[in-house]
Structure 1
C-alpha cells in the first residue's frame, strides 16, 4: 500500500466532514446545537465521499489487497521451504 494514497484519502475524508461542519457552525441555530451540525456534516461527508472519492478509495483498497497477497505468498514460500528441509 502506498502511504501517500492512504494519506490523501484520509485527508479528503476529513475535509469532507470538517468543511460542511465549519459552514454549519456559522449559523446561530446550529451553533447552539453542535451535535446536530455534526450529524448533518457526517451525512454530507459520507455522501460526498461516496460520490467523489471512489478513485482514491480504489487506490487504497488495491494497495491493501496487493500487500495482503504478498504476505500470503511469503508465508506459503516459507512453509514450502520448511517442508522441503525436513
Structure 2
C-alpha cells in the first residue's frame, strides 16, 4: 500500500464530513442540535464518498491486497533456514 493513496483517501473522507458539518453549523437551529448536524454531515459524507472516491479507494485496497499477497508467498524464516 502506498502511504500517499491512504492519506489522500483519509483527507478527502474527512473533508466530505467537515465541510457539510461546518456549513450546517451556520444555521441557528442546527447549532442548537449539533448532534443532528453531525448525523446529517456523516450521511452526506458517506454518500459523497461512495460516489466520488471510488478511484482512491481502489488504489488503497489494491495496494493492501498486493502487500498481503507478497507476505503469503514469501517463505517463512523456518523454511528459509531449512532450505539452506
State the TM-score, normalizing by the size of structure 1: 0.89
Three-state SS of the structure 2 residue aligned to 1:26 is coil
Q: CA deviation at 1:29?
A: 0.3
Written as runs of structure 1 = structure 2, the 5 A alignment for 1:26-65 is 26-65=26-65
Written as runs of structure 1 = structure 2, the 5 A alignment for 1:63-82 is 63-74=63-74, 76=75, 78=77, 80-82=79-81
- Give the gaps of 5 or more residues in structure 2: none
Q: CA deviation at 1:79?
A: 5.2
In structure 2, C-alpha distance between the alignment counterparts of 1:48 and 1:55, rounded to whole Å:
13
CA RMSD of aligned residues (A): 1.3
4+ long deviations beyond 6 Å? none
- Give the gaps of 5 or more residues in structure 1: none
Q: How many residues align?
A: 84
Q: CA deviation at 1:81?
A: 3.1
Q: CA deviation at 1:80?
A: 4.1
Q: CA deviation at 1:25?
A: 0.2
